[in-house]
Amino acid sequence: MGLLYTCLKYLVVSLWSIFVIAPFLWAISTSFKDFQSVTNGATYIPWVDFEPTLEGWRALWKSPAKGGVDIVEPFFNSIFVTCAGSLISILLGTLAAYALSRFTFKAGFIRNSDITFFFISQRIMPPVVLAIPFFIMLGKFALLDTLLGLIVVYIVLLMPIAVWIMVDFFNKVPREIDETALIDGCNPYQAFYKVVLPNSIPGIIVAGMFCLIFGWTDFFFSFILTFTEVQLLPVAIVALNSSITPWWSLSAAALVSVAPLIAVAFVVERYLSKGNLSGALK
C-alpha cells in the first residue's frame, strides 16, 4: 500500500516535470540548430543527431541588415518599462493600501472596502475593453509609441495588484504596532516608514514579484500601443514569426525572455522559504 502510493506519487510528479520541462528542452535544443537541422526531420541530441551552432544566439544582437534579429533594444525596453511600472505601482500601491487599511474613508455610500474593490475591478475587465480607451487617451497626450506611455499603462495594470496584496498584508499587521510607534514618539509618517514599512518587506516582495511577472509577460498592451519607435520584448519575439521563421533565433529569444522571470522566482523562493513571510510580526 505504502509502496504503491509512493510509486504513484513519483509517477505523477515525473509526468508533471516532463510536461513542464519538455518545452524548455525543445527550445534549448532548437536554439542551437541551423536551417538544415530544423528542416530535415526531427532531431534531438546535439553532436549525435545534429551539429550544434551558436548562430541562433549570435543573431539576437546582430542587426537585421546583417541577417540578425536584434532583440537587444526590446529586451532593455522591456526591463525598463516593467521595472519602472512595478516600482511606481509598488510605491503608490503600498501607500494607498496603508491608508485603506488604517483610516476610515466615507463618501456617500462608499467605504474602504468599496475603494479596494474599485482597484481590483480594474483587473476584472477583459483587457480588450481597456485597449481602445487607452489608445485614445495616450493618443491625446502624444504618448502612443513611447516608453512613458507604456509605463503609465503598466501602472494602471499593476497598481491594483500591489494595492490588493498590500491591503491584505497591512490588515494582518496589528494596529498596536502603529499605536506603539506613536506612543514612542513618532508622528504618523515616521510610524509608517520607521516601523510599519520595515516590517512589511515580505509583503512588498511578494507584491513586487507579481507586478514584475504581470508586467513582463504582457503582450497585448505593448502590441496595441506601440508601432515603430518603441518595441517591447514579447512583441519583438512574436514579430520574428515571419514568412521564413528563424526557429533557432526564436527559441533563443524565448529563452532570453523567460530568464529574468526564472531569476526573480529563484531569489524570491529563497527568501520565502527562509520563513521570512510568516512570523515577521508577533
Contacting positions for other proteins (CB under 8 A): 174, 176-177, 179-187, 190, 195, 198-199, 201, 279-282
Of residues 201 and 205, the one with the C-beta less far from other proteins: 201
Nearest distance from residue 176's CB to other proteins, in Å?
5
**How far, rounded to the nearest angstrom, does the alpha carbon of residue 228 sit from its chain's CA centroid?**
24
How far apart are the C-alpha atoms of 28 and 153, rounded to whole Å?
33
Judged by beta carbon, residue 137 or residue 277, the one nearer other proteins is: 277
Strand partners, 107: 110
Closest to 159 measured CA to CA, from 219, 99, 96, 104: 96
Closer residue to other proteins (CB): 9 or 175: 175
Burial of 258 (0-12, 13-18, 19+ CB in 10 A): middle
Minimal distance, residue 246 CB to other proteins, in Å: 51
The smaller minimum CB distance to other proteins, of residues 85 and 202, is found at 202
Q: How far is the CB of 207 from other proteins (least distance, A)?
A: 18
Closest CB to other proteins among residues 67, 174: 174
- Residue 176 or 269: the one with the smaller Cβ distance to other proteins is 176
Minimum CB distance to other proteins, residue 204 (Å): 13
Per-residue H/E/C for 135-184: HHHHHHCCCCCCHHHHHHHHHHHHHHHHHHHHHHHHHHCCHHHHHHHHHC
Q: What angle do CA 9, 14, 19 make, to 5 degrees?
A: 130
H or E segment and range at residue 250: helix 247-273
44 phi, psi to nearest 5 deg: -125, -45
CA 39 to chain CA centroid, nearest Å:
34
Place of cell 494596529: 175
Tell whether the torsion through CA atoms of 193, 198, 200 and 201 is positive or negative. Answer: positive
Closer by beta carbon to other proteins, 53 or else 199: 199
Shortest reach from residue 201's CB to other proteins, in Å: 8
Give the Cα separation of 73 and 147 in Å (integer): 12
Q: Which is nearer to other proteins, 23 or 174 (CB)?
A: 174
Give least dist CB 99 to other proteins, A. Answer: 18
Cell numbers for 149: 506611455
- State in angstroms the smallest separation of the CB of 280 from other proteins: 6
The nearest distance, CB 113 to other proteins, in angstroms, is 17
